């Protein structure tokens, strides 16, 4: 008789987007005359940049000719893409990463879930609270998180690092020592960032206690302030304690096209064993590469036109972020984020819970967002709005919120 992975049974239901979706549908059915604007989605809306589309077309044509047809991609990804990544995302930032430290993948969600394969079940993870749920749930599936404590909405064997107004939405060094530390900056859901010296303190801490940092830099392209690090490898010593995950989803709109990469430095070793070679083994065994046409499209993002066109998209979203942030602040809300990230994090007014504010906003302004408590217990009393809507809808949504 076979047995299932019972860790899956310990997972609490993922109610957040199922519940917001249901509530929005029910509201629309009951109020067919009202136009609901969603600022809840964590997905891009602008179409792919023209140079990306042109490159996709020509790469498809290559696949149709015997002389240029491509089969399986190289294990780590095509060199033309890995070289562009190294030159633009690392060398240009003073970070010395070589191309055999870059592993092209189908996105940062897969990588952040799969990276756990190379770590023992007996590791204690630390996460920010609130947090992108993938880090915790994938560790729960691997049996690393203990039991779920319904009452506290926490796992018994996870170190939670509260990120609230009291900590300026940044994690503090935890009292209990973790083995694997997940950090994501610019942050989803809070939109916060930390300065380079603050990230350096995390690197120093990880080196001191022998922990590894999994650094999710999916929103790097949204950084607008000068002292915010673009990669953890700007920090001294990071190559001996950190893995970085990147994505083409938020900077270039590849959410439906799928492309990302992980950087696992060769210096990163556990008792003399190189994590780079473990990840190479895992990648080569369980993954057969992102499609050639998509890797070509990804390389197009690094061309001069690609940079210009994708920057225009990021600027479009960041203009929305500014409209939301400034509009809500003028209306008396306490808001953060939206400066180096496409997310605005606001404190619910009048001590409303996150879900009460969700209902209130939907009823009164016909605007949908995401309750902060859905991202973790320290998200209670907060609410996330995203800048990924259209300019027109964003303006109207803010106008309606102001009139509430």
Taking the complex as a whole, the smallest distance from the CB of residue 293 to ligand PLP amounts, in Å, to 17
From CA 162, how far away is CA 171, in angstroms rounded? Answer: 6
Question: Which is nearer to ligand PLP, 131 or 212 (by Cβ)?
Answer: 131
Identify which of 302, 261, 315, 342 has the alpha carbon closest to the alpha carbon of residue 92.
302
User: Which position's Cβ is nearest ligand PLP?
Assistant: 107
Task: Work out the angle at residue 318's Cα, subtended by the Cα atoms of residues 313 and 320, and round it to the nearest 5 degrees.
Answer: 105
Taking the complex as a whole, the smallest distance from the CB of residue 350 to ligand PLP amounts, in Å, to 29
Question: Which is nearer to ligand PLP, 132 or 317 (by Cβ)?
Answer: 132
From CA 81, how far away is CA 75, in angstroms rounded? Answer: 13
Question: Do the beta carbons of residue 185 and residue 193 sit within 8 Å?
Answer: yes
Question: Which is nearer to ligand PLP, 132 or 155 (by Cβ)?
Answer: 132
Cα dihedral: 361, 161, 139, 153 (round 10): -50
Taking the complex as a whole, the smallest distance from the CB of residue 219 to ligand PLP amounts, in Å, to 7
Question: Which is nearer to ligand PLP, 68 or 288 (by Cβ)?
Answer: 288
Taking the complex as a whole, the smallest distance from the CB of residue 347 to ligand PLP amounts, in Å, to 21
Question: Which is nearer to ligand PLP, 178 or 298 (by Cβ)?
Answer: 298
Q: Which residues contact 40 (CB under 8 A, 6 or more apart)?
A: 20, 24, 368, 369, 370, 384, 385, 386
User: Does the N-terminal peptide bond of residue 186 adopt cis geometry, omega within 30 degrees of 0?
Assistant: yes
- Burial (CB count <10 Å: 0-12, 13-18, 19+), residue 16: middle
Question: Which is nearer to ligand PLP, 84 or 184 (by Cβ)?
Answer: 184
Cα–Cα distances in angstroms (integers) from residue 388 to residues 222, 301, 319, 324, in the given order: 12, 19, 10, 11
- Burial (CB count <10 Å: 0-12, 13-18, 19+), residue 269: middle
Question: Do the beta carbons of residue 148 and residue 6 sit within 8 Å?
Answer: no
Identify which of 52, 111, 92 has the alpha carbon closest to the alpha carbon of residue 306.
52
Question: Which is nearer to ligand PLP, 260 or 372 (by Cβ)?
Answer: 260
Question: Which is nearer to ligand PLP, 86 or 290 (by Cβ)?
Answer: 290
Interface with ligand PLP by CB under 6 A: which residues? 42, 107-109, 132, 184, 188, 216, 218, 247, 249-250, 255, 260
Question: Do the beta carbons of residue 351 and residue 307 sit within 8 Å?
Answer: no
Question: Which is nearer to ligand PLP, 45 or 274 (by Cβ)?
Answer: 45
Both structure tokens of 69: 């047809």
From CA 99, how far away is CA 369, in angstroms rounded? Answer: 40
Taking the complex as a whole, the smallest distance from the CB of residue 43 to ligand PLP amounts, in Å, to 8
Taking the complex as a whole, the smallest distance from the CB of residue 77 to ligand PLP amounts, in Å, to 14
């Amino acid at each position: 008789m076979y047995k299932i992975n019972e860790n899956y049974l310990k997972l609490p239901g993922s109610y957040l987007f199922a519940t917001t979706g249901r509530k929005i549908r029910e509201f629309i059915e009951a109020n067919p005359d009202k136009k609901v604007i969603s600022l809840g989605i964590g997905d891009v809306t602008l179409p792919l940049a023209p140079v990306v589309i042109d490159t996709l077309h020509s790469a498809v044509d290559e696949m149709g000719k015997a002389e240029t047809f491509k089969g399986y991609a190289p294990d780590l990804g095509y060199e033309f893409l890995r070289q562009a990544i190294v030159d633009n995302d690392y060398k240009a930032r003073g970070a010395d990463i070589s191309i055999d430290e870059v592993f092209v993948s189908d996105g940062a969600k897969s990588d952040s879930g799969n990276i756990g394969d190379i770590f023992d079940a007996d590791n204690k993870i630390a996460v920010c609270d609130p947090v992108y749920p993938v880090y915790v749930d994938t560790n729960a599936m691997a049996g690393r998180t203990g039991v779920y404590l319904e009452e506290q909405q926490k796992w018994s064997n996870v170190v939670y690092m509260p990120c609230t107004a009291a900590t300026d939405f940044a994690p503090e060094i935890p009292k209990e020592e973790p083995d694997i530390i997940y950090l994501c900056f610019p942050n989803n859901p809070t939109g916060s960032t930390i300065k380079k010296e603050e990230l350096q303190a995390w690197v120093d801490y990880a080196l001191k206690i022998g922990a590894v940092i999994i650094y999710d830099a999916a929103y790097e392209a949204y950084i607008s302030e000068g002292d915010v690090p673009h990669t953890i490898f700007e920090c001294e010593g990071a190559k001996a304690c950190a893995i970085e995950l990147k994505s083409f989803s938020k900077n270039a709109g590849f959410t439906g096209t799928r492309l990302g990469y992980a950087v696992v430095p060769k210096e990163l070793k556990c008792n003399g064993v190189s994590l780079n070679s473990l990840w190479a083994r895992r990648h080569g065994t369980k993954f057969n590469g992102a499609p050639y046409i998509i890797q070509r499209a990804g390389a197009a993002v690094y061309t001069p036109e690609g940079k210009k066109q994708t920057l225009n998209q990021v600027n479009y979203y960041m203009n929305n972020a500014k409209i939301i942030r400034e509009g809500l602040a003028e209306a008396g809300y306490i808001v953060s984020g939206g400066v180096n990230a496409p997310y605005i994090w606001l404190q619910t007014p009048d001590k409303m819970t996150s879900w009460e504010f969700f209902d209130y906003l939907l009823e009164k302004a016909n605007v949908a967002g995401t309750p902060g408590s859905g991202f973790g217990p320290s998200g209670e009393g907060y609410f996330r709005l995203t800048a990924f809507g259209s300019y027109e809808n964003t303006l109207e949504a803010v106008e309606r919120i102001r009139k509430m």
